[in-house]
Structure 1
Amino acid sequence: MLTVTIDEIQQNLTGYLQQVAAGENIIIMHAGKPIAEIKPVSLTFQQIRPYGLCAGEFIVPDDFDSPLAEDILNIFEGK
């Protein structure tokens, strides 16, 4: 993690942003105290979910798609 002052980041903003784009985190200091952090944007929404994430965690019963019993259907239909 890189630490810079406000003056340093103002003098070379493009250079520091290139470092952030490369994966570096930057802490901006003012009067010896951290006031901000610049870090790369997480692009997790573009990652494809792998197949089989929950493999082995549950079992689908053989009668999963069988018709429901009449009394259960009546409950769902409000009868």
Structure 2
Amino acid sequence: MKISNIHEAKSQLSKLIESALAGEEIVIAKAGKPLVKLIPYQENKQPRTPGGWEGQVIISEDFDAELPTNLLNLFAGEEE
């Protein structure tokens, strides 16, 4: 495992990426404290299958009804 500080990671990013692609574990740290791990990107091997929640979610009839004015005012940051 290679630990690199943020400054080194900024200046040597290409080399760190190559090392990660070669299988080395790269950890980027700040003040000696590990923050993130640099790993190769992997595509999802199986596409997402939509529709797994049928029959498990119920949407209320008034789901898209207009909100009361006092609630809309609160969202806008206004007092009641």
Q: TM-score, normalised by structure 1?
A: 0.50
Mapping 1:1-79, distance limit 5 Å: 1-42=1-42, 45=45
Larger helix proportion, structure 1 or 2? 1
- Equivalenced residue count is 46
- What amino acid maps onto 1:39 in structure 2? I
- Which structure has the bigger radius of gyration? 1
Distance 2:4 2:18 in 1: 14
Superposed CA RMSD in Å reads: 1.8
Q: Is the contact made by 1:26 and 1:37 (CA closer than 8 Å) also made in structure 2?
A: yes
Whether contact under 8 Å (1:24, 1:40) holds in the other structure is no
Offset from partner CA, 1:7-36 (integer Å, 9 cap, x none) = 111111111111111111111110110111
Q: Which amino acid aligns with 2:26?
A: I
- Alignment partner of 1:27: what SS? strand
Deviations 1:34-59 (A, max 9, x none): 1111112345728xxxxxxxxxxxxx
Residue segments in structure 2 that go unaligned for 5+ positions in a row: 47-80
Q: TM-score, normalised by structure 2?
A: 0.50
- Identical columns (%): 33
